[in-house]
Structure 1
Amino acid sequence: MGSKKPIKALPRPRLACARFLFDLTTNQKFDIFIMICIFLNMVCMCLEHYNQSHTFELVLGYINHFFVAIFTIECLMKLIALNFKYFTIPWNVFDFIIVIGSILGQTLGEIMVKFFVNPTLLRIVRVARVGRILRLVKGAKGIRTLLFALAVSMPALFNIGLLLFLVMFIYAIFGMSFFAYVRKSAGITDLFNFETFPNSMIVLFQMCTTAGWSGVFQALTNDQPPDCDPTIKLPSHKGDCGDRIIAIPFLVSYVIITSFVMVNMYIAVILENFSQAHEDVKQGLTHDDYDMYYEKWQCLDPLGSQFIRYNQLSDFVDCLESPLRIPKPNHLILVSLDLPICEHDLIHCVDILDGLTKYFLGTLHLPVSNTEAETPIDIKKDRSKDYHPITTTLQRQRDIYLSRMGLKGFRTNVERRRNERQNREQILAETKINQFVESNDLKTSKLVSNDNQKDETNRTIFISL
C-alpha cells in the first residue's frame, strides 16, 4: 500500500482546441467507444475465410480502412491534447506503434509482405488493445484477478525460465558430445537431433513437456546392429550407434528435472499468486481499489505533492468508490480515524489510505500487541521529505472542543458578571431612591410640625388679646 505514490496528473492544455480534445479523450465514454470499434474490427477479421469472393474481400478491405482511419484520428487527437506527455503512457505508445504499422500496411502492403511482416499480423496485434476494457468493467473482477496473478508471477517465472534454459543448455552440450552422430530413427529426425545446438534445444524443449521422449529414448539406446552400424568411421568412434549406458541416466534425469520439477514450479508460482490475489479479493480490498484511490487523488493533487488540505478531506472521501468510500456526513468518522495533520493543515495520502483501510477492515481501535508495540516503526519511510506531523484529526477536534468549551465558559462568566453588575447597580439605585424618599419625608414632617407650632402660637396670642 505504501509502495505506491500518487503521480502527477496530465496537465490540461491552455489552448481551447487542445482543451476540448483533452476533455474528450480522457472521458471514459470515449474509451468505451474505441473499445467497441476494436471489437467490431475483431468481428470483421473473423469473417475472413478461404476462397472468399473478390467483392467480399473488397468490402472487408474498406471496413479495415475505416477502422484504421478511426484509430489514426484517435492517435492524432491524443497527440494534440497531450503533446509529448502522450508517450509517457505505455498504452499510448503501444497504440502509436500499431497505428503506424497499420498505415504502413495499407500503403506498402506488398513490400511489407515480401521483406518485413504480413500486415494482417498487425491487425491481429491490434486486438490486444481490448485488454484495456478490463479496467473499465467493474464486474470483471475474476478476469482481472487472473491477469493480476499472472502479472505478479512474471518475475518469478522469468527466473525459473532462466534456470530451465541453463539446464537445457547443459544437457544440449552433453547430448551433442555423445549423440551427435546417432542414426536418425524413431524420435531422432532431421529436425529433432543432437547434431547442432539449435536442434538439440528443440529436442530438449519437446522432452521437457514429456512429449516424444520415448522415441528419443529408443533412438539413443540403439547400440547394436542391425539398428545401427558401428563400423562407420565417424568422430564418435561408435559409428551411428547410441549408448544405452549414457542415454538412460541422461534422459531419465532430464525428464525428472525439467518435467517433474521445473514445469511444476511454474504451476506452483502461478497458483500461489492466484491464491494470494483471491484472498485479497475475499478480504475486500484489492490493488484495483488502491489504483482507484490514487486516480481520484490526482483530481485534488494534480502536481503529485502527496498532500491535500484538511478541509478537502471530507469531499475527497465522499467521492471515492466502494469499499473505501465514506459518504457524507463523515466528519465524526474521519475524526475517529486519528489521521496525522502536517504543517500548513495538510494531510498525506498514505495516512488517509491507511486510515480508510483500517476502518473498512474493522481494525481501527484494536489493541496493539506487545511485540508490535516494541517493534520500532519508521513512519516516514513511505512519506515525502515534507512530512512533519504536528497534530491529528482527533487531537484537532479535541482542541476545538476544549476551545469552544473555554469560550462558552468565558461567555457565561462574562454574562454572569454583567448580570451581577446590573443587579448591583439596580439595588444601589433603589437604595438611593429609598434614601431620597426618606429624607424628603423627614423634611416634610419638620415643616408640618413647625406650621403647627406657629398656628398654636398665633391662637394663644389671639386668645390673650
Structure 2
Amino acid sequence: MGVQLFGGRFYKCVYSGTHDRVNLTENVTNKWDCLSKNFTWENSRVNFDNVLSGYLALFQVATFKGWVEIMADASDAKEIDVQPEYETNVYILAYFVMFIIFGSFFTLNLFIGVVIDNFNQQKRILRGGGSIEMFMTDDQKKYYNAMKKMGNKKPTKALPRPRFAIARFFFDLTTNQKFDIFIMICIFLNMLCMCLEHHNQSAAYDHVLGYINNFFVAIFTVECFMKLVALNFKYFTIPWNVFDFIIVIASILGQALGEIMAKFFVNPTLLRVVRVARVGRVLRLVKGAKGIRTLLFALAVSMPALFNIGLLLFLVMFIYSIFGMSFFAYVRKSAGVTDLFNFETFPNSIIVLFQMCTTAGWSGVLQALTNDRPPDCDPTIKSPSHRGDCGNVAIAIPFLVSYLIISSLVVVNMYIAVILENFSQAQEDVQQGLTDDDYDMYYEKWQRLDPAGSQFIRFDQVSDFVDALEPPLRVPKPNHLILVAMDLPICENDRVHCVDILDSLTKYFLGTLDTPVATDSESPIDIKKDRPKDYNPITSTVKRQRETYLSQLGVSGFRLNVKRRHDQRIHREPVVERVTIDELIEFIDLETPTAESAGTQSLHN
C-alpha cells in the first residue's frame, strides 16, 4: 500500500550545497523547472519506491525514530516528478496513524509478548516445576512453593556474647532492632543534608553543612567502634559491617584529605550516598512496607538472571562492533556518526551500539552509513576499505536492522521478562501468606534457643518457641493439641529438628496437615539432605500422646478394678469380670486432639 501511495513521490528540488528544499520564491513546480535552474532533483533517503524500501521506512515508523520526517514527506507529496507542497495531503497521515496502532502498538508488542512468554516457558522447564505442578492441587502448589523456600534456609550459629562487661553492653546495644532503626534515621537525615548542597552557596551555609556532616560521621564512627569492641574479629565476617567500615574510613579520610581524594580517587560524598542501601535491612521491620519489600525482593532475585542477560547483550554488541569496525570504520562523520559515536575504535563501537539497543538515534546512524556517493562522501580518499569515507547501503541496512531486532526487541526485553516473572512470583508469595522474610524471622527466633547451630531444641521448648514467633507462623498458647496434631518427629534425647517444626508450621498455616511429610521419597523436594547425621526420629507427638493416653488408661483401669474388688469385699458380692475398655473411657476424662481420634478408634477396633 505504501508503494502504491508514495512510490516515486518523495522526490523534491533542493539546493545543491545544503540539500534544503528550495524556497517558494524560486517558482519551481516540477522536475524540469528544478533542473533548468541548476538545482538538484533529489529523493528522500527513506522512501517507498519499492517494497524493501517501504519495509525500512515502516520499521523506522514502528520504532518511532525518524518517523516525523517520513510523515512530513508523505503529507507534502503530490504527483510523480512534481515539486512537493507543504501539507497538501494531510489526510494521508491516517495511513501512518493506522500503522502505528496496528503495526507498532499491537504487532510489535505482540512480538515482545511472544519473546517474554517463551522465555518464561523455558525458565519453567529448566526449573523443573512445570511438569510437577501440572498434576497438583492449589494447596499442593502452595506447599510445594513453600518447600522450595525452606530448602534455601538453614540455621546459623549465633554471634557469641562477650565476657567483658563493656563488650556485653555494646553487644546488646548494637544487636537491638531499635539501634538499627536509629542508625537508619541518621542515614536518611545525612542524605537529606547532602541534598541541601547547591551551587554558589555562602561560606556560612557551607560551614553549617560541614558541621552537620561531621556530626553524622562521628555517629557512624561510634557505631563502627562499638561493633568492633562487641564482635572483635567476627565483625569482619559480616558483609554489611565490612561495607560500613569502608564507608567510615573513607568519610574520615575525606574530612582530612577531601581535596586530594576527590582529585586522585573518588569524592567521599559519593561513597556516603551508597550507605542509603542499608535501608533494606530494616524494611522487614516496618509492617507497612510490604510493597517496597516486594519490589526489592523481585530486584534482588532478578540480579543473577539480569547479569547473564547483560553478558549475552555484550556478546551481541561485541560481534556487531567487530563487524562495524570492519566495514564502517572510515565513514565520514555526519548525522548520527560523530567523534564519540562511530566505528573507528572498539570502545566507540560499543558506545554507539549500546545507544542503538535502546533504539535511540539509530536513524541518524543509518543515514551516515548509507552515504555512498558524492557530495555526501568522497570515494577517492585512500583508506583500507577501498571506498574512501563512503558507507555501504547493501551492508548498512541489514546490519542495523538485524542488530535492532536482536538487541532491542529480543535481548533487552528479556530484562523486562525476568523482572516481571520475579515480581509476579513475589506477589504470589505475598498473596499466599508465606514469604522469605517469614522464614528468616523463624531462624532468627530459632537462633536464640540454639546459639550453637545444632539444628535441635528440646521438645519442652517447642510450645514456647512457636508462641514467640511472629504471624503467620505463630501458634499462640495453648498450643499442645495443635503440636500433637502436627505429628512432629521426636529424636533421641527428646529433641526436635528445626526443619520438622518449620515444615509442620507451614502445613498448619496452609491447611495441608494431611500432606505427606517433606522427607518422604515421593515428595517433589527432599530437604532431608541438609539434616545432621544424628537425626534419628524414634517417636512423634502423636505416638507420645497415644502412649500417654494408654498409660493413663491403664492406671485408671487398675484403680477402677481395685475399687470394684474393694466394694465387692465389703458387700460380700461375687467377683465380676474385669472392666472393659468402653467402661474405662467413660470412667476417665481425657481430651484428645483430632489427629489422635483416628488412633484411638483404631485401638478400639
Decide whether aligned partners of structure 1 residues 8 and 367 sit closer, same or farther in structure 2, where only a CA change above 3 A counts. closer
Task: Tell me, yes or no, if the aligned pair for 1:187 and 1:218 is still in contact at 8 Å.
Answer: yes
Decide whether aligned partners of structure 1 residues 75 and 378 sit closer, same or farther in structure 2, where only a CA change above 3 A counts. closer
2:240 equivalent among 87, 91, 107:
91
Alignment of 1:398 onto 2:557:
no
Alignment of 1:326 onto 2:475:
yes
Task: Tell me, yes or no, if the aligned pair for 2:336 and 2:362 is still in contact at 8 Å.
Answer: yes
**Structure 1 counterpart of 2:234, one-letter code:** K
Give CA deviations for 1:6-46 in whole Å, capped at 9, x if unaligned. 00111100111111111111111111111111111111111
Alignment of 1:14 onto 2:166:
no
2:347 paired residue number: 198
In 2: Cα distance, 1:374 partner to 1:65 partner: 61
**Structure 2 counterpart of 1:306, one-letter code:** Q
Give CA deviations for 1:187-228 in whole Å, capped at 9, x if unaligned. 000000000000000000000000011111110011111110
1:212 paired residue number: 361
Specify every segment of 5 or more residues in structure 2 that has no aligned partner in the other structure, as ranges: 1-149, 574-605
Decide whether aligned partners of structure 1 residues 114 and 377 sit closer, same or farther in structure 2, where only a CA change above 3 A counts. closer
2:381 paired residue number: 232
In 2: Cα distance, 1:119 partner to 1:82 partner: 27
CA deviation after TM superposition for structure 1 residue 109, in Å: 1.0
Alignment of 1:162 onto 2:311:
yes
1:282 paired residue number: 431
In 2: Cα distance, 1:31 partner to 1:23 partner: 12
1:113 equivalent among 242, 245, 262:
262
Decide whether aligned partners of structure 1 residues 374 and 347 sit closer, same or farther in structure 2, where only a CA change above 3 A counts. closer
Decide whether aligned partners of structure 1 residues 375 and 52 sit closer, same or farther in structure 2, where only a CA change above 3 A counts. closer
In 1: Cα distance, 2:524 partner to 2:247 partner: 51
In 1: Cα distance, 2:236 partner to 2:190 partner: 25
CA deviation after TM superposition for structure 1 residue 373, in Å: 8.5
Indicate the larger mover: 378-387 or 256-265: 378-387
Decide whether aligned partners of structure 1 residues 69 and 247 sit closer, same or farther in structure 2, where only a CA change above 3 A counts. same
CA deviation after TM superposition for structure 1 residue 130, in Å: 2.8
Give CA deviations for 1:374-426 in whole Å, capped at 9, x if unaligned. 6697562242222111111111111111111112212322343445556669x
SS at match of 1:108: helix
SS at match of 2:340: coil
2:465 paired residue number: 316
Task: Tell me, yes or no, if the aligned pair for 1:3 and 1:382 is still in contact at 8 Å.
Answer: no
Decide whether aligned partners of structure 1 residues 376 and 415 sit closer, same or farther in structure 2, where only a CA change above 3 A counts. farther
In 1: Cα distance, 2:244 partner to 2:527 partner: 41
1:408 equivalent among 544, 556, 564:
556
2:249 paired residue number: 100
CA deviation after TM superposition for structure 1 residue 49, in Å: 1.0
SS at match of 1:68: helix
**Structure 1 counterpart of 2:267, one-letter code:** N
**Structure 1 counterpart of 2:556, one-letter code:** K
Give CA deviations for 1:299-344 in whole Å, capped at 9, x if unaligned. 1111111111110000000000001101000000110011111111
1:363 paired residue number: 512
In 2: Cα distance, 1:325 partner to 1:181 partner: 70
SS at match of 2:528: coil
Q: Which has the larger radius of gyration?
A: 1
In 2: Cα distance, 1:101 partner to 1:377 partner: 46
Decide whether aligned partners of structure 1 residues 52 and 367 sit closer, same or farther in structure 2, where only a CA change above 3 A counts. closer
Task: Tell me, yes or no, if the aligned pair for 1:22 and 1:82 is still in contact at 8 Å.
Answer: yes
In 1: Cα distance, 2:321 partner to 2:214 partner: 48
**Identical counterparts, % of pairs:** 82
Decide whether aligned partners of structure 1 residues 112 and 373 sit closer, same or farther in structure 2, where only a CA change above 3 A counts. closer
Task: Tell me, yes or no, if the aligned pair for 1:2 and 1:350 is still in contact at 8 Å.
Answer: no
CA deviation after TM superposition for structure 1 residue 107, in Å: 1.1
**How do residues 53-452 of structure 1 correspond to structure 2 at under 5 angstroms?**
53-365=202-514, 380-420=528-568
Task: Tell me, yes or no, if the aligned pair for 1:134 and 1:144 is still in contact at 8 Å.
Answer: yes
CA deviation after TM superposition for structure 1 residue 284, in Å: 0.7
CA deviation after TM superposition for structure 1 residue 136, in Å: 2.4
Task: Tell me, yes or no, if the aligned pair for 1:350 and 1:382 is still in contact at 8 Å.
Answer: no
Specify every segment of 5 or more residues in structure 1 that has no aligned partner in the other structure, as ranges: 426-465
In 2: Cα distance, 1:374 partner to 1:267 partner: 36
2:121 paired residue number: none
Task: Tell me, yes or no, if the aligned pair for 2:516 and 2:523 is still in contact at 8 Å.
Answer: no
In 1: Cα distance, 2:352 partner to 2:527 partner: 55
SS at match of 1:193: coil
SS at match of 1:281: helix
SS at match of 2:381: coil
SS at match of 2:538: strand
Give CA deviations for 1:115-154 in whole Å, capped at 9, x if unaligned. 1111221222233333333132122011111111111111
The structure in which a higher percent of residues are helix is: 1
Give CA deviations for 1:263-314 in whole Å, capped at 9, x if unaligned. 1111001100100110110011111111111111111111111111110000
Task: Tell me, yes or no, if the aligned pair for 1:232 and 1:238 is still in contact at 8 Å.
Answer: yes
1:4 equivalent among 153, 158, 172:
153
